[in-house]
């Protein structure tokens, strides 16, 4: 889209759909070295579909967005003409507490959603990075899981229906508003975690859970990281049922319950009062000498888990490692020289850490870590890094034969590579 006149025509066409006040063409954020022509903010599903139809007519690439978060994730974009923000799409379509389900527009913020459902004694047990500021559509599109995954499952376990706007300006639905409604392949799971490369999510239907009667976090600290890991592994192997079991260490923002910089084991329980009390007492019985244990109150616990989820916001290079649970101990030992801060989900084998290295040294460290992980069946994903790093090393790594399938799916759903071009695995 080279000519100035053609760019102006694109802006005018988008303005005709959503109103000139909802189209910005100045002072837009640069995306991976590209200067977007416009940012359009549709106010409904139909307007989002019409915007995509306009972009298809102009062969304009589209970057789906909620609240403009997570632009630094994934591989560098190969093109970025129009940012399509669903931030104005923030209505509650249908919420049925009796059915434990709700349908919300993609721009509904998680904080507002959480406040609404908690009033009915219900919740969606997710707490990934940036979730308080995130929109539901972005959480679904990026498949963002947090520290509650072991106890309650992943995003794709809770998203039961989607309404979608496609790259060519068509539309579709998948799933529905009841929990068990799928015969055959569940298309909903195809879109969850596809990073907006297959369609723009405009509405999300989720199933909810009753709020637990009580939640409590034990913060166990000590200078011996190995002793903390051993205790965490024992808790996981026991008949206890923690919602989360994390080892954290390094240059974190202040975490409640111990001195800054001291390694901590955080174990969270969510259940009835009696069950939580029993499990807390069992963990205390497992303590070894040299480990200090404190029970965080509700406010301290909330601050601690929020700090853990958002530690990447203060870091320059953040990677997420996944490894077999049986190998987590050795991975923690081998990565000690690279990390500034670490949050390791001991039950899921997922380790988020920020690197000491910068620039070319960060690239070398990522490649070395990725190579070592491959020998044990593990993987490494770059969560956050400067563009210079992402240009030198693939954010996702080699997906193997699955990459061919992903490229085939992209070809089927977006053969012109309009949506988030280059962002996903193998440049999908």
CATH number at residue 222: 3.40.462.10
**What pLDDT sits at residue 133?**
74
CA neighbor of 11 nearest in space, from 39, 30, 47: 39
C-alpha 266/C-alpha 293 separation (Å) is 10
Rg of the chain over Cα atoms, rounded to whole angstroms, equals 22
Q: Which of 124, 120, 198, 107 is nearest to 160 (CA)?
A: 124
276 lies in the same domain as 309? yes
Q: Which of 189, 210, 231 is the last residue of a domain?
A: 210
| CA pair distance 241, 278, nearest whole angstrom | 11
384: nearest Cα among 144, 145, 133, 74: 74
Residue 110 maps to a domain: yes
pLDDT tens digits, the chain, 428 residues: what are they? 557 888 999 999 999 999 999 999 988 989 999 999 999 999 999 999 999 999 999 999 999 998 776 777 889 999 999 999 999 999 999 999 999 999 999 999 998 999 999 999 999 998 877 666 789 999 999 888 889 999 999 999 999 999 999 999 999 999 876 655 555 567 899 999 999 999 999 999 999 999 999 999 999 998 889 999 999 999 999 999 999 999 998 876 656 444 556 789 999 999 999 999 999 999 999 997 778 999 998 888 988 898 888 887 778 999 999 999 999 999 998 888 778 889 999 999 999 999 999 999 999 999 999 999 999 999 999 998 999 999 999 999 888 887 888 888 888 898 899 999 999 887 77
Q: Residue 78: which domain range? A: 4-88
Contact assessment for residue 161 and residue 106, using Cβ atoms and an 8 Å cutoff? no
In the chain, helix, strand, coil percent, each to 5? 35, 25, 40
293 and 329 in a single domain? The answer is: yes
Q: Is residue 426 part of a domain?
A: no
**295: Cβ contacts below 8 Å, ≥ 6 apart:** 216, 217, 218, 219, 280
Q: Do 12 and 44 fall into the same domain?
A: yes
Whether residue 66 lies inside any domain: the answer is yes
- Residue 204: give its domain's CATH number: 3.30.465.10
Sheet containing 339-345: which strands, arranged edge to edge? 292-296, 214-221, 264-271, 244-250, 339-345, 350-355, 318-322, 379-384
Nearest to 81 by CA among 58, 103, 54, 62: 62
The CA-atom distances, in angstroms, between 141 and each of 107, 144, 198 are 12, 8, 10
Q: What is the pLDDT of residue 258?
A: 46
Residue at which a domain ends, from 165, 189, 210: 210
202 and 228, same domain (yes or no): no
pTM metric for this prediction: 0.92
């Amino acid at each position: 889209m080279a000519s100035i006149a053609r760019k102006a025509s694109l802006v005018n066409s988008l303005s005709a759909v959503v109103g000139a006040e909802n189209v910005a063409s100045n002072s837009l954020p640069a995306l991976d070295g590209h200067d977007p022509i416009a940012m359009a903010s549709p106010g409904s599903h139909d307007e989002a579909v019409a915007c995509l139809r306009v972009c298809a007519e102009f062969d304009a690439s589209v970057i789906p967005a909620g609240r403009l978060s997570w632009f630094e994730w994934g591989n560098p974009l190969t093109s970025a003409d129009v940012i399509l923000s669903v931030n104005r799409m923030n209505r509650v379509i249908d919420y049925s507490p009796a059915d434990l389900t709700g349908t919300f527009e993609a721009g509904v913020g998680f904080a507002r959603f959480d406040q609404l459902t908690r009033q009915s004694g219900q919740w969606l047990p997710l707490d990934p990075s940036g979730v308080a500021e995130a929109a539901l559509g972005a959480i679904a599109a990026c498949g963002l899981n947090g520290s509650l995954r072991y106890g309650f499952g992943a995003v794709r376990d809770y998203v039961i229906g989607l309404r979608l706007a496609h790259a060519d300006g068509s539309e579709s639905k998948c799933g529905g508003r009841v929990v068990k409604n799928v015969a055959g392949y569940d298309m909903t799971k195809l879109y969850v975690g596809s990073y907006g490369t297959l369609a723009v999510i405009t509405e999300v239907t989720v199933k909810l859970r009753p709020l637990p009667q009580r939640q409590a976090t034990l913060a166990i600290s000590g200078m011996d990281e190995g002793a903390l890991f051993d205790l965490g592994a024992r808790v996981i192997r026991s008949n206890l049922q923690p919602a989360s079991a994390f080892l954290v260490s390094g240059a974190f923002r202040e975490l409640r319950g111990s001195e800054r910089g001291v390694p901590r084991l955080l174990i969270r329980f969510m259940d009835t009062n009696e069950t939580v009390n029993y499990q807390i007492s069992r963990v205390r019985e497992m303590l070894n000498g040299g480990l200090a244990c404190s029970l965080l109150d509700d406010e301290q616990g909330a601050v601690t888990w929020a700090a853990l989820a958002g530690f990447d916001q203060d870091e320059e290079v953040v990677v997420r490692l996944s490894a077999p649970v049986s190998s987590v101990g050795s991975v923690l030992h081998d990565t000690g020289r690279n990390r500034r801060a670490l949050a390791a989900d001991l039950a899921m084998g997922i380790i988020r850490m920020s690197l000491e290295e910068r620039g070319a040294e960060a690239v070398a460290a990522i490649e070395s870590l990725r190579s070592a992980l491959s020998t044990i069946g593990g993987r490494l994903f770059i969560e956050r890094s400067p563009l210079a790093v992402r240009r030198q090393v693939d954010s996702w790594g080699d997906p193997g034969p699955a990459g061919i399938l992903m490229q085939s799916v992209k070809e089927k759903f977006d053969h012109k590579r309009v949506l988030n071009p280059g962002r996903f695995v193998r440049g999908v």
